[in-house]
């Protein structure tokens, strides 16, 4: 029995597959991730270098600014506190708006899609509301909610809501009948079906909704600030652009990208946790 | 012996726009308590439709199913049903799938784990407790489904081609396992299969279905138990039955 050392399963039945420990080197574990990240970094450096070069030689920096100016501007703003003040405001608007839209969207999607008749009746109305460009709502929201922070939160939430709602509802309506019947056969009631089948089955839809909604949360918050505000990154863009300060505009855009990237990572981690059962593509 | 499951004038139509597909027409059958009924029939003759009705999953268009002398109005936890297609929850590992009927019944988790471990061992999936269904082969999924059905300890077993996807050796083992279970527990079994030999090896009674569920042949199998596949093949009584069933199936095709 010399082979039992590397067998993880007791050798009960010989016809089944056998599981063995797979010793992997550091490079086998992390090699492809390392390669991808190094290449990403290289690409970024290349792009920035090219931008810098182009700004120095060929194109007027009033239009495209240049990386060194942008970095300098970020440094100044970080030092005098401008950056933190405005970023904090916008981050709050985005996070509250995203959370509000996501929670209400997922709940509404889950409940309404479970009530087949209600969903069929409401479907065209929902689509009509969804199709309204949310930017067009900004003036109306100012009238309703004023120009304080909740106007921006609600504007961000409005778009996030529909995206999460529609994806959740699609997930709920796509649930395999066979799985529902399996729970019925086990003596499960509607509550069991909702919790043990519909909820896990619709998680994929919820996550897709969250993922596609991230940029819209940013759009909602920033548009709100552009339209009416004296604080936040949207205001900062407006202010900088009014003074032809392209470096300032780009600096703000950099901050917005960082916020979006962080949100993406958070949702990505959530997705990994929830979709563990999905086959990993090799 | 009393009739445990009884159907009378059972008809099932599937409506689609203005046309209806008749899957089963005026089907009447009585199944005695504790018997092992093998149902044979060609593809599309309404076997799965019949089992869905017997399990209470679908409503008959006409007629009724009676279980223990009461009309069956929905699924009953006493009736275990192994459906033709896999219905394991893809987001649960083997063990959590097998535990599921007990979970719904409110059995405490230590007890659930104990029962599940025993059944997983029995169907030969030990070591794969935490694998998701997509990480298993078709036959392994089938065995996990079998374990899940048995976890509820049903008194009546409806099985729709349970061993179709398995290799001959494994099928033999699971057939023996099923017979052992039946001999010990005295369950009532309705077993759908395409395989005449399997029907004769397992059943007390073989029902051959023709199109839309017409009963072409309904015959007791009086071969002595325990039956061994190798010994049966040369048994004249078996050969005669085999020929008779094959002829009935052929006739159904016309
Ligand atoms: N949900 C459904 N909607 C419409 N028609 C159906 C449905 N289910 C079954 N049928 C029809 O009913 C007939 C019988 O189907 P059934 O699944 O009972 O066959 P079967 O005997 O189990 O066949 P197989 O051996 O291939 O599994 C088929 O003609 C099929 O087209
Ligand atoms: Mg079938």
Q: Which of A15-29, A256-270, B30-44, B202-216 has the lowest mean pLDDT?
A: A15-29
The mean per-residue pLDDT over the stretch A58-79 comes to 84
**What percent of chain A has pLDDT above 70?**
92
Q: Which of A226-230, B11-15, B48-52, B55-59 has the lowest mean pLDDT?
A: A226-230
Beta-bridge partner residues of B39: B192, B207
What's the pLDDT tens digit per position in A168-207?
999 998 899 999 999 999 999 989 999 999 999 888 888 8
The confidence band for B146, taking pLDDT boundaries of 50, 70 and 90, is very high
Pair A40, A99 in one domain: no
Question: How remote is the CA of residue A95 from the centroid of ligand 1, in Å?
Answer: 51
Closest alpha carbon to B242 in B210, B195, B175? B195
* Cis bond before residue A106 (omega within 30° of 0): no
Pair A29, A156 in one domain: no
Beta-bridge partner residues of B13: B22
Residue with the smallest CA separation from ligand 1 atom 27 is B43
CB pair distance less than 8 Å for A181 and B104: no
Query: In this structure, is residue A38 part of a structural domain?
Result: yes
**B165: pLDDT strictly greater than 60:** yes
Mutating to test ligand 1, I would choose from B24, B48, B57 the residue with most ligand atoms within 8 A of its C-beta, which is B48
Q: Say yes or no: CB of residue B61 within 6 Å of ligand 1.
A: no
Query: In this structure, is residue A1 part of a structural domain?
Result: no
**A4: pLDDT strictly greater than 50:** no
Listed in sequence order, the residues at least 6 apart from B7 whose beta carbon sits closer than 8 Å to its beta carbon are B27, B28, B29, B30, B53, B54, B63, B64, B65, B66
**A37: pLDDT strictly greater than 60:** yes
The CATH number given to whatever domain includes residue A84 is 1.10.3720.10
Listed in sequence order, the residues at least 6 apart from B72 whose beta carbon sits closer than 8 Å to its beta carbon are B54, B56, B64, B65, B66
State whether residue B218 is helix, strand or coil: strand
Joined together, the tokens standing for residue A98 give 């995203």
> B100 to chain A: which residues are within 8 Å by CB?
183, 186, 196
> B77 to chain A: which residues are within 8 Å by CB?
185-187
Task: Name the minimum distance, in Å, from the CA of B212 to any CA of chain A.
Answer: 23
The phi and psi torsions of A132 (rounded to 5 degrees) equal: -65, 130
Question: How remote is the CA of residue B81 from the centroid of ligand 2, in Å?
Answer: 13
Joined together, the tokens standing for residue B162 give 């349970």
Q: Are A183 and B104 in contact (CB under 8 A)?
A: yes
Helices H, strands E: what count in chain A? Answer: 12, 0
Atom from ligand 1 closest to the CA of residue B46: 18
The second-level CATH assignment, the architecture, of B31-61+72-78+154-254 is 3-Layer(aba) Sandwich (3.40)
Instruction: Say how many CB pairs under 8 Å bridge A and B.
Output: 77
What CA–CA distance (Å, rounded) separates B36 from B31? 9
Residue B150: count of CB within 10 angstroms of its CB = 24
Pair A80, A44 in one domain: no
**B171: pLDDT strictly greater than 70:** yes
Beta-bridge partner residues of B19: B16
Query: In this structure, is residue A96 part of a structural domain?
Result: yes
Pair A139, A163 in one domain: yes
Pair A143, A40 in one domain: no
What's the pLDDT tens digit per position in A115-168?
888 888 998 998 998 898 888 888 888 888 888 888 889 989 998 999 999 999
Task: Name the minimum distance, in Å, from the CA of A58 to any CA of chain B.
Answer: 56
Joined together, the tokens standing for residue B197 give 């030999």
Residue with the smallest CA separation from ligand 1 atom 29 is B44
Would you state the pLDDT for residue A9? 43
Pair A76, A106 in one domain: yes
Candidates B89, B105, B124; nearest CB to A16: B124
Report the interhelical angle of A116-131 vs A82-114 (nearest 10°).
Answer: 150
Question: How remote is the CA of residue B52 from the centroid of ligand 1, in Å?
Answer: 11
What CA–CA distance (Å, rounded) separates B37 from B193? 11
Pair A32, A109 in one domain: no
Query: In this structure, is residue A209 part of a structural domain?
Result: yes
State the residue range of the domain holding A268. Answer: 63-274
Pair A34, A91 in one domain: no
Question: How remote is the CA of residue B213 from the centroid of ligand 1, in Å?
Answer: 11
The mean pLDDT of chain A is 85
Query: In this structure, is residue A17 part of a structural domain?
Result: no
**A18: pLDDT strictly greater than 80:** no
Pair A196, A69 in one domain: yes
Checking ipTM against 0.95, whether it exceeds it is: no
What's the pLDDT tens digit per position in B206-215?
999 988 888 9
Query: In this structure, is residue A119 part of a structural domain?
Result: yes
Listed in sequence order, the residues at least 6 apart from B139 whose beta carbon sits closer than 8 Å to its beta carbon are B165, B166, B167, B170
The confidence band for B58, taking pLDDT boundaries of 50, 70 and 90, is very high
Query: In this structure, is residue A117 part of a structural domain?
Result: yes
The mean pLDDT of chain B is 90
Residue with the smallest CA separation from ligand 1 atom 11 is B23
Pair A106, A28 in one domain: no
Pair A245, A110 in one domain: yes
Would you state the pLDDT for residue A282? 36
B74 vs A59: which has the higher pLDDT: B74
What CA–CA distance (Å, rounded) separates B136 from B125? 10
Q: Are B85 and B77 in contact (CB under 8 A)?
A: no
Q: Which of A8-17, A69-78, A128-137 has the lowest mean pLDDT?
A: A8-17
Total domains, chain A: 2
Residue A7 per-residue DSSP state: B
Pair A40, A144 in one domain: no
Starting from the CA of residue A181, give the closest ligand: 1
Q: Where are the domains of chain B?
A: 31-61+72-78+154-254, 88-153
What's the pLDDT tens digit per position in B102-113?
999 999 999 999
What CA–CA distance (Å, rounded) separates A59 from A57? 6
What's the pLDDT tens digit per position in B59-97?
999 999 999 989 998 999 999 999 999 999 999 999 999
What is the C-alpha radius of gyration for chain B, rounded to an integer number of angstroms?
18
**A14: pLDDT strictly greater than 60:** no
Would you state the pLDDT for residue A2? 40
The mean per-residue pLDDT over the stretch A34-39 comes to 92
The mean per-residue pLDDT over the stretch B17-44 comes to 91
Q: Say yes or no: CB of residue B21 within 6 Å of ligand 1.
A: yes
**A6: pLDDT strictly greater than 90:** no
Q: Say yes or no: CB of residue B49 within 6 Å of ligand 1.
A: yes
Q: Which of A184-188, A244-248, B96-100, B159-163 has the lowest mean pLDDT?
A: A244-248
State whether residue B219 is helix, strand or coil: strand
A70 vs A15: which has the higher pLDDT: A70
Joined together, the tokens standing for residue B196 give 């005449």
What CA–CA distance (Å, rounded) separates A211 from A168? 12
């Amino acid at each position: 029995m010399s082979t039992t050392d590397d067998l993880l399963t007791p050798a009960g039945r010989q016809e089944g597959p056998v599981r063995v420990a797979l010793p992997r080197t550091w490079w086998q574990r992390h090699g492809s991730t390392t390669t991808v990240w190094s290449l990403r970094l290289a690409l970024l450096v290349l792009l920035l270098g090219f931008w810098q070069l182009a700004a120095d030689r060929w194109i007027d920096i009033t239009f495209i600014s240049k990386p060194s100016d942008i970095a300098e501007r970020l440094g100044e703003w970080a030092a005098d506190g401008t950056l933190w003040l405005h970023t904090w405001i916008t981050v709050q608007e985005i996070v509250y708006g995203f959370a509000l839209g996501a929670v209400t969207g997922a709940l509404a999607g889950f409940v309404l899609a479970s009530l087949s008749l209600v969903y069929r009746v409401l479907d065209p109305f929902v689509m009509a509301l969804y199709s309204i460009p949310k930017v067009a709502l900004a003036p109306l929201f100012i009238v309703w909610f004023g120009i304080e922070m909740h106007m921006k939160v609600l504007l961000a939430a409005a778009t996030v809501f529909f995206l999460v709602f529609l994806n959740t509802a699609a997930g709920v309506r796509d649930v395999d009948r066979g799985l529902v019947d399996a729970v019925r056969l086990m003596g499960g009631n509607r509550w069991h079906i909702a919790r043990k089948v519909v909820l896990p089955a619709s998680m994929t839809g919820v996550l897709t909704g969250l993922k596609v909604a991230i940029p819209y949360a940013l759009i909602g918050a920033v548009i709100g600030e552009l339209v009416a505000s004296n604080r936040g990154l949207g205001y900062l863009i407006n202010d900088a652009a009014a003074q032809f300060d392209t470096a300032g505009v780009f600096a703000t855009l950099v901050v917005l990208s960082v916020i979006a990237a962080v949100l993406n990572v958070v949702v990505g981690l959530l997705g990994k946790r929830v979709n563990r059962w999905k086959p990993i593509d090799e | 012996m009393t009739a445990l499951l009884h159907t009378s004038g059972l008809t099932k139509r599937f409506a689609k726009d203005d046309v209806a597909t008749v899957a089963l027409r005026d089907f009447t059958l009585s199944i005695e308590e504790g018997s092992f009924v093998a149902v044979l029939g060609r593809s599309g003759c309404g076997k799965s439709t019949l089992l869905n009705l017997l399990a209470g999953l679908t409503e008959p268009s006409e007629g009724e199913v009676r279980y223990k002398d009461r009309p069956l109005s929905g699924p009953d936890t006493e009736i275990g049903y192994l459906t033709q297609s896999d219905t394991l929850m893809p987001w649960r590992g083997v063990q959590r799938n097998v535990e599921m009927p007990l979970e719904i019944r409110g059995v405490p988790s230590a007890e659930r784990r104990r029962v599940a471990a025993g059944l997983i061992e029995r169907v030969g999936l030990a070591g794969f407790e935490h694998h998701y269904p997509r990480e298993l082969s078709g036959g392994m999924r089938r065995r996990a489904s079998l374990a899940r059905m048995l976890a509820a300890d049903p008194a009546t077993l409806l099985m729709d081609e349970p061993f179709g996807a398995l290799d001959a050796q494994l099928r033999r083992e699971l057939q023996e396992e099923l017979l052992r279970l039946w001999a010990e527990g005295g369950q009532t079994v309705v077993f759908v299969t395409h395989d005449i030999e399997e029907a004769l090896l397992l059943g007390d009674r073989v029902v051959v279905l023709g199109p839309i569920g017409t009963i072409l042949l309904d015959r007791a199998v009086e071969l002595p138990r325990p039956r061994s596949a190798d010994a049966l093949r040369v048994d004249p009584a078996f050969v005669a039955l085999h020929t008779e069933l094959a002829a009935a199936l052929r006739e159904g095709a016309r």
